[in-house]
Structure 1
């Protein structure tokens, strides 16, 4: 006979509140305390698991297990808060949070992806659903046969078709939204492996939800589920073909008027509640109504508005209660008598997705290593698997041991994916193993590859003008990789899908920026023969998005990364901060990049198609200045560019070596020797430039000025700015061992621009010229090493000229 759980419910009239001995006899105070504890513990677990890049729901399930009856809940303190007769209230809140979560998940799924999916993604998806379901049923049969008679749980209805169906459905699921966030955190979102996993997971997720809507009525209602399925199909058809067109028409009208008022959010919530009520009456499940309503909400700015307003409340405050409830039901005591067999079953369940992916990708010739990685990524589980197990557990379709086994396998599948993929596939810091990627060392017979990173379409115009100046020629064509940097917040999958679906009528803000960026760069490519342009988007938190820039530059063999300065030009001609986080990105990119880096301070640099550009390159010394001179030299090859090169010669106080970081006598001597070596290299490079460029090109001029102290450097720059140059090109200056420059750097507002760059970019300087600041790859290496000197001289021929493009 089935065991029944009964709760003692005390119903107290609201009017008797002040007549009660203690207000804590009510459920509300207990519920508030439970939610507070749940939120605190989930944040704690998430913080602990953050280095392992684990999804948030893993931390929430572990919180639930920690709060189970065998652990924290057995203590007197937690017994006073987590009362047995409060379980019903807790699970009610959990299901409301789940419905909101699924509604937002429905907004992430694109039904068109089922029709537009490629053959490869479809095959992987179909195999990843069918094979795990078939083999999973056999594994469940094995578990059922070995657990009979072992415990009282054998009296549950484990041997029915409904139990097989619940088990098989849960093991076939792939969580698209969880996978999208994981790929972003692992910096694999734009790689071939990430793209294949994302496309396959998107189709698989849609298949899983369709199967859930069709099969879950049979799980909950048995043979009578056929009536629920028919009614649900009619309801879904009504939603898509009657309700959705009217909703789209209404939303489009408001978007055209640029009016999105708060009451529209209330209408969405009402519609959401109505849908979950209808599907519950039809005998399906409340989450089906929530998911369907999420599907019919028009994509674009309105959907973005809904997500912005509901996501944090739904996903971070009330949905965790559901995941915690799932964790509370874990009962490992049921498995202690057969833990070895249970471990074998869990491992078998973890291999099903990998096996199915290997079988599907075999026909496409995918390497075994990539197939294994793809299979691991497809093993990522999400909320749907937990919903299925929660339904089966609540209705006593699965025993406690079966539930614990499957939940353990889901946790293990999801937990191991990130560490393994991160260990095997994440790009490592191997930049130094390759030849230095700089403009100075670029070969004459190779194309120049640059990575132009932008946040907005406005920045894209400036990057295009710089790219145009780095002209493309038949000998050395130009290949530009335009990277749109998008901050990843909230629902990651919805953001990714919005960009994948370029036909969305009402574009979200970031997608609208991408459209404008794409148009600008495509026009640039059309107007300049021999120039190639590729446009990509990097989705990530701003704190780690520099890793995407590094990895893509390394993958594309770029010689130069271009970054926009975090300030933009205002109407009065001053520079104003656009986003403080953009500066942090610049600083992080400058730290150990795979190639040279340029920071572009745009003050309205014009296109060479319209005007001639007058460039001034300021040379003081050091590898960064050599890289800056190389960039200016290449730009001078453009017919519309007039180049002036100023070398500031340092004497007296300005030439003193900075020995503050060298305490010992040997260190002082080393610093002085390094400075002398650097002077020799600077002289050699400038001499090559003067022989090959200045004497052979009337559009290039060279002149020198002396500086004896810090004030002389500022005075020289102030006098030169009266000539109204269009663009300054300067070196960032890392590695200069000069006391005067070190003192100036201490007063810099933006040290990442270097001394000269900071002076020229300051609003107080009053310049109207744009500035390009260069940092050469490897410039932070200590001067005077044999390897660096050899690399430098390898680029110079026997006659003293440099093997580069003139």
Structure 2
């Protein structure tokens, strides 16, 4: 009778529900078999969402969009109605009974996502933030809330069909959402655009961190009151007690245990599962207290130790969490958003509301930064970044929709606004904030073009302390001129292995990095020395040289893209020279072995596109201080802009009282002087075809003549010699002759602009083309030299184009024997 009555009501259109009963063979249970129906359906839904998310991310990759945008767009795409199928794409795979399981997994996904956010956040940034970043964050929170009240008045009178959603709670919830700034998404965008370590990036990260902290505090205090009214006061008080308990009672013993087990490498996946249990337990507590489950997840992430433990945890669990679970929540938001219904008949109004909400952050940022003298263009870019939304804003609008605080129309407009606020940030910032444009006026700031009394700016890139010790010798040799200053930017390159490590380092302000070295010690693992050791090496060098200023920096990124970070930092610091370590290091026997294969790709990427001159240093282990031993430098000059830049560096070194310089000019005669008519010299420069050979020879004669006149004839420690070569074999003979003289360092150019057929043919045999022909010969183990090598490429004539095929070491050995 009950079933008939329900069927009658359904036919009359009075109710809409489903009635389904499947009896299992067992007499006790009256339900469907989970493994037969629910599990296959859930797996299909997850795969569909993940596939759509990966597809959207692949499509949006050229626009540098964060994962959050791709995941939300995937939900929009799956919710598109297909007339032929009479349903949406997701509706085909999702039956009504599967909604509960999908929603439960999606909720667990957002809990894990917020837990990782808490693990990534560094609250020390908030307490130590400068007044500038704090002002931007506070202004970017308060003014948008005022605009939020105004915009919801428009929404309430136009889109909301009745007055039940025009409540004080709805106004606060809408305004709170507009004031949001997502620190993780801002860091993701800055990292993708490779402006993470620029001045704009540092200010944006600090301001976003403060804004995000304010947003979470308002979430804890306001959401219980918005949802539960006066009863929410008890939820707020009990949540505060829970947070204090976690910080002062639970955190100390838990950190002690976790750090001890991490230092002992005594972890397995089974033990790591207890961390997930802790996340769920804290989320359950705050949900029971009436706040929200994500608050507990955030608090648990904040109290866990940073560094090696956090990196290991994310590395082990981030694949399933961020890859499969978190996208379900964002996709579920997209599935609830009826885009076509919201825009139908209200398109102009929705666009107007979006423009008002976007303008609020930009206007407040321009006003706040005006008092600190920030250019308007940078202020607009910063305001766009502060508009970036994330998971917290979606959680708030989702709460408003589920608890009937806002209408479906308002929910859809807000989700669309969050989406477009975030999706437009990266393309606009990429178009308007181009640091390299500000460097055009200084594009000829090579060492050759610097005046003798000008400050020389050198960026030194290192991966470990051994490389740092080797670079000190080059810097000390260049620091013998008392009339000019040496500005060193010591950049430690760290491979990004997890999101948390990148974000923790990204939060380190330029002046806080030295104070925060202990954080880096925990989170970074170099080859044999800690980050603190590297910092101490350069700081000690700076303290011993009055005319030298050292600034320690850290660039943490994937090795495949870290060259773009170096590029942008060199632009911002106006460096004239970037020193890079060779990817091989000297062994006890004196041979060179590969230490880090990825360094080779980094060096090549920089040589193809770099904003200043580049030097690759092959360190043979001569780390004695110049104050204790004299250094003999041999500079080999054949011709071209690279050789002139190398001579400029050697000339500067020759002014050090403990340096002896021998400049050897090699003339190509006879067969060796034949011009490469193919238009590609040995360096395969991108602009080598347009280099005027005659003009280059005039510049070579002029610069060498000036060197001989001003240096050789006036200094007892500088000698000049000439050698002639008539064939490729003669080059090796000359090098063997020079090596018998004994030297500590060879300085030579990479080889652009020589246009020699012999050298071009030898370049095809090079095992390490980034060193050029001569550098590759000197670095070869078959050559047998124990001297360090500095290979220089001058900026301004195009990068180096590396071919994919080169000869092996055996080929080089046979060439040397010939």
Fold shared, TM-score > 0.5 on shorter chain: yes
Q: Distance in 1 between matches of 2:197 and 2:25?
A: 57
- Choose which of 640, 643, 652 in structure 2 pairs with 1:634: 652
Aligned to 1:299: 306
Deviations 1:506-531 (A, max 9, x none): 62115984322221111000011111
Aligned to 2:121: 109
**Aligned pair in 2 of structure 1 residues 117, 695: CA closer, same or farther (>3 Å)?**
closer
1:765 aligns with 2:783: yes
- Aligned pairs (5 A) from 1:561-572: 561-572=578-589
After TM superposition, give the deviation of residue 65 of structure 1 in Å.
0.7
After TM superposition, give the deviation of residue 159 of structure 1 in Å.
2.2
- Choose which of 598, 612, 621 in structure 2 pairs with 1:595: 612
**Aligned pair in 2 of structure 1 residues 557, 111: CA closer, same or farther (>3 Å)?**
closer
**Aligned pair in 2 of structure 1 residues 435, 159: CA closer, same or farther (>3 Å)?**
closer
Deviations 1:705-761 (A, max 9, x none): 222211111232234323442111111002211111011100001211100011111
Q: Distance in 2 between matches of 1:636 and 1:144?
A: 77
Deviations 1:480-523 (A, max 9, x none): 11222233454242442478644549621159843222211110
The answer to whether the 8 Å contact 2:24/2:32 transfers is: no
After TM superposition, give the deviation of residue 762 of structure 1 in Å.
1.9
Aligned residue for 1:26, secondary structure, equals helix
Aligned residue for 2:238, secondary structure, equals helix
Aligned to 2:707: 689
Deviations 1:141-165 (A, max 9, x none): 221122343xxxx48x412333223
Q: Distance in 2 between matches of 1:672 and 1:125?
A: 51
Aligned to 2:678: 660
Aligned to 1:184: 191
Q: Distance in 1 between matches of 2:207 and 2:330?
A: 25
Larger displacement relative to structure 2 (181-190 or 170-179): 181-190
After TM superposition, give the deviation of residue 69 of structure 1 in Å.
5.4
Aligned to 1:87: 99
Deviations 1:353-408 (A, max 9, x none): 12332343344444433332222111111111011112222223221110111111
Q: Distance in 1 between matches of 2:548 and 2:678?
A: 47
**Aligned pair in 2 of structure 1 residues 355, 505: CA closer, same or farther (>3 Å)?**
closer
- Choose which of 724, 735, 739 in structure 2 pairs with 1:706: 724
The answer to whether the 8 Å contact 1:446/1:477 transfers is: yes
After TM superposition, give the deviation of residue 288 of structure 1 in Å.
0.9
After TM superposition, give the deviation of residue 9 of structure 1 in Å.
7.0
Q: Distance in 2 between matches of 1:767 and 1:171?
A: 65
1:53 aligns with 2:64: yes
Deviations 1:49-90 (A, max 9, x none): 111111111111111011115259855875442222212211
- Choose which of 598, 615, 630 in structure 2 pairs with 1:581: 598
- Choose which of 212, 216, 222 in structure 1 pairs with 2:219: 212
The answer to whether the 8 Å contact 2:633/2:744 transfers is: yes
Q: Distance in 2 between matches of 1:777 and 1:127?
A: 43
After TM superposition, give the deviation of residue 548 of structure 1 in Å.
2.7
Aligned to 1:120: 132
**Aligned pair in 2 of structure 1 residues 4, 466: CA closer, same or farther (>3 Å)?**
farther
**Aligned pair in 2 of structure 1 residues 660, 628: CA closer, same or farther (>3 Å)?**
same
- Choose which of 69, 81, 102 in structure 2 pairs with 1:70: 81
1:315 aligns with 2:315: no
1:282 aligns with 2:282: no
Aligned residue for 2:166, secondary structure, equals coil
- Aligned pairs (5 A) from 1:163-242: 163-242=170-249
Q: Distance in 2 between matches of 1:463 and 1:184?
A: 28
- Choose which of 125, 135, 148 in structure 2 pairs with 1:136: 148
Larger displacement relative to structure 2 (695-704 or 3-12): 3-12
1:528 aligns with 2:545: yes
Q: Distance in 2 between matches of 1:235 and 1:384?
A: 20
1:750 aligns with 2:768: yes
Aligned residue for 2:720, secondary structure, equals strand
Aligned residue for 2:639, secondary structure, equals coil
Larger displacement relative to structure 2 (489-498 or 648-657): 489-498
The answer to whether the 8 Å contact 1:437/1:594 transfers is: no
Q: Provide TM-score, normalisation by structure 1.
A: 0.89
Aligned to 1:538: 555
Q: Distance in 1 between matches of 2:388 and 2:155?
A: 23
Structure 2: segments with no counterpart, 5+ residues = 1-13, 681-687, 801-818
Aligned to 1:507: 522
Deviations 1:633-652 (A, max 9, x none): 11111111121222222222
Paired positions, count: 766
The answer to whether the 8 Å contact 1:657/1:671 transfers is: no
After TM superposition, give the deviation of residue 315 of structure 1 in Å.
1.4
1:454 aligns with 2:462: yes
Aligned to 1:550: 567
**Aligned pair in 2 of structure 1 residues 96, 498: CA closer, same or farther (>3 Å)?**
farther
**Aligned pair in 2 of structure 1 residues 249, 337: CA closer, same or farther (>3 Å)?**
same
After TM superposition, give the deviation of residue 585 of structure 1 in Å.
1.8
Aligned residue for 1:242, secondary structure, equals helix
- Aligned pairs (5 A) from 1:460-471: 460-471=468-479
**Aligned pair in 2 of structure 1 residues 116, 687: CA closer, same or farther (>3 Å)?**
closer
Q: Distance in 1 between matches of 2:383 and 2:141?
A: 12
Deviations 1:385-444 (A, max 9, x none): 011112222223221110111111111111111122221112245756546222222202
The answer to whether the 8 Å contact 1:187/1:426 transfers is: no
Larger displacement relative to structure 2 (592-601 or 490-499): 490-499
- Choose which of 147, 158, 170 in structure 2 pairs with 1:146: 158
After TM superposition, give the deviation of residue 263 of structure 1 in Å.
4.9
Q: Distance in 1 between matches of 2:26 and 2:591?
A: 65
Aligned residue for 1:696, secondary structure, equals coil
Larger displacement relative to structure 2 (477-486 or 460-469): 477-486
1:405 aligns with 2:417: no
Aligned residue for 1:140, secondary structure, equals helix
Q: Distance in 2 between matches of 1:221 and 1:12?
A: 41
Aligned to 2:350: 342
- Choose which of 97, 100, 103 in structure 1 pairs with 2:112: 100
Larger displacement relative to structure 2 (677-686 or 446-455): 677-686
Q: Distance in 2 between matches of 1:14 and 1:215?
A: 51
The answer to whether the 8 Å contact 2:636/2:663 transfers is: yes
Aligned residue for 2:713, secondary structure, equals helix
Deviations 1:184-226 (A, max 9, x none): 2223222222222111111111111111122222233333222
Aligned to 1:383: 391
The answer to whether the 8 Å contact 1:657/1:675 transfers is: no
The answer to whether the 8 Å contact 2:436/2:571 transfers is: no
Aligned to 2:661: 643
After TM superposition, give the deviation of residue 24 of structure 1 in Å.
8.6
Aligned residue for 1:439, secondary structure, equals coil
Larger displacement relative to structure 2 (248-257 or 127-136): 248-257
Q: Distance in 2 between matches of 1:464 and 1:748?
A: 28
**Aligned pair in 2 of structure 1 residues 556, 146: CA closer, same or farther (>3 Å)?**
same
The answer to whether the 8 Å contact 1:144/1:159 transfers is: yes
